[in-house]
Amino acid sequence: MTPRIALIGLGTMGSGMAGRLLQAGYPLSVYNPHTERAAALVDRGAILASSPRGAAGNADVIIAMVPDDVASRDVWLGPNGALHGAKAGAVAIDCSTLTPAWVRELAAAAKQRGCEFLDAPVTGSRPQAASGELLFLVGGDAATLEKVRPVLQHMSRDMVHLGPAGSGALMKLINNFVCGVQAAALGEAMATIEKSGLDRDKAVSILANGAPGSPLVKGVSARMMERTYEVFFKLRLMRKDLTYASEEAAAHGVELRTVAAALGLFSQACELGWGDRDMSAVVEALRGGRP
């Protein structure tokens, strides 16, 4: 039988993921606190639930994609949380960027309720979610991953099993702190280029096509130059991820000094009002601009 899917959280990433599942023909129930975000999916056949518990009720696979630990705890274990409605044997998957400690707690709660659990955060942003080219970083039982692989493959280019519950979350924080530090360094480079009088187009081309020219540098530098901050990854969420990463590294005896510097820049950009725009707006902390 075709498994029934519930997807909780229809933000930048969740909406694209839900679209891929509908395109693949899965029966899909969705939940989002702002119901207007579900309208296009409902038009395509999704069922809109009034709570995470309602979305999860008949689902074989329950997927959450929410902003942080607080939201994840609420949608899984809150008064109307998904695990209160999940049937025994369902697979619960959290694709959010979370702390490993919370993920391990959530895995234990799912097991107590007779569910299997994976933490499966993703790399990629809005275009990859919409096109089914995400990379899932998976923690949990390898046999559970194999059980849901046919579902995840419609949203991904690959899945990497990294170890027990919490392993995916840890790898995602490491991935994102490297991205955040790159973006902050690029913002400082951009500000220096602009204020020094160098030809900006030539200077950025040298960075983008030389040794520093990662895919992130190429994409983010273009948005910084154009000052177009349509969301691929929200700036305030990067600030959250840098905070989580710093705390997690400290628990292992590592001080992320480059993260501390980047976090200061992202925090300043949030204070200027850029928190809900794309993370490339971190450069505005140095330009002094406001939305």
Catalytic positions are 172
β-bridge partners, 47: 29
SS (H, E, C) 144-203: HHHHHHHHHHHHEEEEEEEECCCHHHHHHHHHHHHHHHHHHHHHHHHHHHHHHCCCHHHH
For residue 62, give the H/E element and its range. Answer: strand 61-64
Please report where in the chains the tokens 């902050």 appear, as a residue.
Answer: 184
Classify residue 278 by its DSSP letter.
Answer: B
Locate 97 and state its tokens.
Answer: 């960027």
Please report where in the chains the tokens 């994609």 appear, as a residue.
Answer: 65
Q: What are phi and psi of 253, to 5 degrees?
A: 80, 20
Contacts of 84 (CB under 8 A, 6+ apart): 53, 77
Distance between CA atoms of residues 94 and 210, nearest Å: 37
Identify the CA nearest to 110 among candidates 159, 161, 58, 63: 63
Distance between CA atoms of residues 291 and 281, nearest Å: 9
Locate 159 and state its tokens.
Answer: 């899945």
How many Å from the N-terminal Cα to the C-terminal Cα in the chain?
50
Task: Count Cβ neighbours within 10 Å for each residue of 227-236 and write b for 16 or more, e otherwise.
Answer: eebebbbbbb
